[in-house]
Structure 1
Amino acid sequence: MQPVVAGVVAAVTGFASSFALVIAGLRAVGATPEEAASGLLILTLFQGIVAIVLGLRFRQPLAFAWSTPGAALLIAARHATGDFRAAVGAFLLCGVLLLITGLWPWLARAMTRIPRPIASAMLAGVLLPICLAPATSAVTLPLLTLPAIVVWLVLLRFAPRWAVAGAVVAVIVAIVLTRPDVAPASLLPTVRVVAPVFDPFVLVSIGVPLYIVTMAGQNVPGFAVLRTFGYDDPPARTILASTGAASAIGSVFGAHAINLAAITAAMMAGPDADPDRSRRWIASVTAGIAYLVIAPVSGAASAIVAASAPVLIEAVAGLALLGALVGAFVAAFEESEHRIVAVATFLVVASGIQVLGIGAPFWGLVVGGIVMLALHLGRRRPEPAGRHPTAIPSRR
């Protein structure tokens, strides 16, 4: 039962710790409560299906999740569009790019070679405004926010895996106690079809950065986790192609992106899942089944979130993303010779500027690339010995 329990815990933790962030991200780019509920439902169903199919096919503990940094990007890009159809067009572009990455080995290798300081600094700039939300919410809604922060802090000390989920439960209790007028019909699972609109500015402002943060913030770390636990030959191309196809199909139902998981991957690929490495794939299949069971509650989750103040939901999301923010800062500023590059990228993204209708994450990448070329073009740097630690293999 050990891998079965690991899979169930990973699925419950993955859903509870970040579903509010997904809903907040979808609402930020124009989704109605029903469309946000549909997106959450499809994300949960599709990542469960992919986990079951690929887990059975390759007998490896492959964990899948929605793009958490991608949802954070949507919140940061709230001014890029208020038309959810245009956002869906950007989601579709992201899915197609992920699919092409899996089918085209050169693009997979190129994406994993994006300079780490630039990619990490862009992610940090996206996460920063959301991670400030707990402080803002604690001032504006102290009676609702402070109990959640206290629960989060206590669990972070004694049961860190459940810290964010505990904060979410505390917020849900507060919402139910203060807003008992949630319509019963809104608690049911719902599916909405949204016809995509391809707005060039939204595609560049949301679609391309969503693809990059999903690759750099989720897929690459996910492969690194698998290798850390001895799975040196994960089916990289199949994983990327499958999640890309699922993301592209799911986009017309409001789903933003599906990818290889990193944190829950560690829960299922490590010895805690099973001392026998050959049996840990069971956790992947079990997690997929658990996601299918959890999916119907997406309507209720969306309705509860919709009944609360946006700043309160962003506060919970900020608590969930503090660890990711720390990791992004460490990765961005680890190499001393690239710190100016990282700072330039981070400041542009965190500023939230829009130029020519294109949002800050894209311009952060552009500025970071220009600064890196200006400072380091023509300089020789010794190649690190051995294989790049986060490179995606071209086989499969």
Structure 2
Amino acid sequence: MPSTVAAHPAHRPDEQVDPRLVDAVLAAAMAVVVAVVAAADLEGTGRAGALCYLFAAGFGALLLARRHAPRLVLVLTVLGIFVYYMFQLPPIGIALPAVAALFSAAEADRTRAAAAAGAVLVSVAAYFRVHEGLPTSYLVSYDLLTDVALVAAAVALGVSVRSRRELRAHQERLRALAAAEEHREADRRLQAEKAGIARDLHDTIGHTMSVIAVHSNVAAEAVGRDDEAAARALEQIRSASSATLRELRSTVKLLRSPGADPAERSSIGLAGIPQLATAAEDAGVEVTARIDVDPQELDATIDAAAYRLVQESLTNVLRHSGARHAAVQARLRNGTLELRVTDDGRGAPRAASPHAAPAAGDGGRGLQGMAERVVLLGGTLTTGNREGGGFEVRATLPRRLGP
């Protein structure tokens, strides 16, 4: 029994912790720090008491709303610091109680508000320190420097956290876009492969049915008059049917194995043209084949496509042209494979092209399929009546695919 393994998406670190828990811990930490500094009463005011701890709890409680209203939390924190000092309570620093609020505002992309609030706090603290008679040298070298450093560090940390979060979100969007593009590309490849298989089936079955139709007519006319000719015609039908069944089995195998290389669909190529010529001759059309190409010089896909073009061209000769002779030429010229199939039949009712409807009975698919195959491989196809009678198919294909 095949086992199934459930795939669990990897969790990012910021998804493993409940944001509300983070806010609660930050609020508690801020309340404790402010309460401890106030209780220390470094200047010996003797005013440490319940009111100090109430302010500490208030500074912490404000942080519970930092994600939803960062600017409001920042403004209330700054006002709370001013009110705290209005009651002449033990000093707790001007920037320390606002550190978390400054960080939260910067993290929420309120950097200007955070910088403005920090500047207000530092300026007000410096003014009152000077007003109290604190030496300017001490103010600049220690007190002011400490406040500026705390404010700058809090704002910078908030900006850094926000930048990393935005970078992660951008990377996630890029990964999602890449995955979507890969999915679309896989769909395009699948559709192209389906179209290729459909063209191959059309070419194979169309050619085989043309051969069978010709030989069945021969057999029907020969029965009772020339049993040997009837037997040969039936043998040709049997041979063509067997070959087609083998190729259909190969195609079905490919459909059941999506990962298989399309180039391995069959071993067909220019080397198989003599068999096509023999089948056409057995059906009453003399074929002259001149293949001046070593199949080893071609990509397998190009080799197989050339075979299909010749196969479809000879099928049209058998079905529509009424020709007695056809010629197949293949050669390499300047790194390009040139194919030419001509016949001496009656030609098409009007000049044909890759976009024109072919002779009656083809259903409009033969030349269209040939043109699609050639264009997909980066080649060109021209078709039309020849001067003096007959029809011509001319195709050029690159010798190899890719750069």
Common fold by TM > 0.5? no
Find the structure with the greater CA-based Rg: 2
Higher helix proportion (structure 1 or 2): 1
Higher strand proportion (structure 1 or 2): 2
Q: Please give the TM-score of this superposition, normalised by the length of structure 2.
A: 0.24
Higher relative contact order (CA 8 A, sep 6+): 1
Q: Please give the TM-score of this superposition, normalised by the length of structure 1.
A: 0.24
